[in-house]
Amino acid sequence: MASANSIIYSGNQPYFVDINSHSLNIDIEKYSCAAELNKIKALVAVHYAGNTADFIEISNISKSKKIYVIEDAAHALGAEYKSGEKVGSCKYSAMTVFSFHPVKSITTGEGGMITTNSETFYRKLLRLRSHGINKQNDELENVFESKSHLVQNSWYYEMQELGYHYRLTEIQAALGLSQMRRITKFIKIRNQISDFYNDSFKHEELFSTAITKVEGISAHHLYPLTINFDKLKVGRATIVNELKSAGVGTQVHYIPIPMHPFYRKLGFNVLNYPNSLKYYYSCLSIPIFPELTVKKTFKVSKIVKSIINQYKK
């Protein structure tokens, strides 16, 4: 919801594009059609579960229609595009947004980071995060007040636009920098866990790995399964509760935005996004994090298979 809400905060109207059923990222063909038929100013594309979207194609479509591209990389710190560059390099976008929420690959407790190669955007972002003020070296508008007898006033600053209080604290930043030194190790472990799950679940009849197409190197922020509940005697809540009782925490990522009352009242209908809806009704994310040892990963896979398979019709 954060990506969609930001569009409304800025006074614009969101337009949603469905996902594809392989990478679970934005459907490129549907985006291409939307770009042709609608006056789109900017695209906010999500790297779902740490798996990068096809940003080479996204970039080509967007450039031809003069659409700004913003990457929601909250799940994708440490991931790489299939062309080899790191997510966050902004090779294919105007800017990339990361999250340092406690459940992300690294954390600062809360907060996040934006990367960009545009000096114009960089300066604007500095102002937006601090009440519309940049005390560094922005060009001043009220030059007369900025000086005393032609000598620059060291205390002088200007609020040049309406901004916010979005500053990350120095303590949080220090924590984040210390964790950034470990991100390569974290991603390596997450890839190993994902590979183990993929192998463990590849012959299962009732459920499977949700992401069947990976672009580049995934950050594996999530490991979602798709479960065929039509072949089970019970619903998802029973599976979730039994897994929890067995010591395996799970989550549903996510309820489609058009299903939420706020967006329904704006006129959106989730039936217009069939892939997202189908995925939502079948998905369940199982544990994946660096502290999950080989022994624990094996135990999780064993419990998941046991609990789901016992309810086969």
- Look at residue 302 in the predicted model and tell me its pLDDT: 98
Average pLDDT over the chain, rounded to whole?
95
What is the DSSP-derived secondary structure letter of residue 155? T
Which element (helix H / strand E) includes 192? helix 183-201
- Kindly report the CA angle at 123 between 13 and 8, in degrees rounded to 5? 15
pLDDT tens string 8-19:
999 999 999 999
The answer to whether residues 16 and 129 belong to one domain is yes
CA 213 to CA 190: how far, in whole Å? 17
pLDDT confidence of residue 29: 96
In sign, the C-alpha dihedral spanning 120, 121, 122, 126 is positive
What pLDDT is attached to residue 57?
A: 96
Reported as a single tens digit per residue, the pLDDT across 252-302 is 999 999 999 999 999 999 999 999 999 999 999 999 999 999 999 999 999
Share of the chain above pLDDT 90, in %: 94
- Please report where in the chains the tokens 């390099």 appear, as a residue: 89
Same domain assignment for residues 175 and 275: no
pLDDT tens digit string along 150-182? 998 989 999 999 999 999 999 999 999 999 999
User: 71 with 216, same domain?
Assistant: no
User: At residue 136, does pLDDT exceed 80?
Assistant: no
Are residue 205 and residue 275 in the same domain, yes or no?
Answer: yes
Total tally of structural domains belonging to the chain: 2
C-alpha angle with apex 183: 197 to 95, nearest 5 degrees?
A: 105
Q: Is there a single domain that holds both residue 244 and residue 287?
A: yes
* Residues 32 and 175 occupy one common structural domain: yes
Q: Do the Cβ atoms of 166 and 129 come closer than 8 Å? A: yes
What per-residue confidence (pLDDT) applies to 38?
83
Answer yes or no: do 242 and 131 share one domain.
no
Does an H or E element contain 187, and which? helix 183-201
| pLDDT for position 137 | 77
Considering the domain architecture, whether residues 131 and 238 belong to the same structural domain is answered as no
Same domain, 201 and 293: yes
At residue 243, the 3 state secondary structure works out as helix
Q: 86 near 80, Cβ under 8 Å?
A: yes
pLDDT higher than 90, residue 23: yes
Collapse the DSSP code of 19 into the 3-class scheme (helix H, G, I; strand E, B; otherwise coil) and give the result: strand
Look at residue 134 and tell me whether its pLDDT is greater than 90: no
Clarify whether residues 169 and 128 are in a common domain: yes
The pLDDT of 185-190, averaged and rounded, is 95
CATH code at position 278: 3.90.1150.10
pLDDT confidence of residue 73: 97
Token pair recorded at residue 125: 């972002």
Cα→Cα distances 65→34, 36, 43, 60, Å: 11, 8, 11, 9
Distance CA 280, CA 271 (A): 12
Residue 37 banded pLDDT, cuts 50, 70, 90: confident
CB 228 within 8 A of CB 207: yes
What is the per-residue pLDDT across 44-71, written as a single tens digit (0 to 9) for each? 999 999 999 999 999 999 999 999 999 9
| CATH assignment at residue 101 | 3.40.640.10
pLDDT at 25 over 90: yes
pTM: 0.93
**In which domain, by residue range, is 210 found?**
183-309
Judgement on whether residues 48 and 65 belong to the same structural domain of the protein: yes
The reported pLDDT for the residue numbered 138 is: 83
* Three-class secondary structure of residue 86 per DSSP: strand
For residues 165 and 191, state if they share a domain: no
Q: Which residues contact 252 (CB under 8 A, 6 or more apart)?
A: 236, 280, 283, 284, 285
Identify residue 269 by its one-letter amino acid code: N
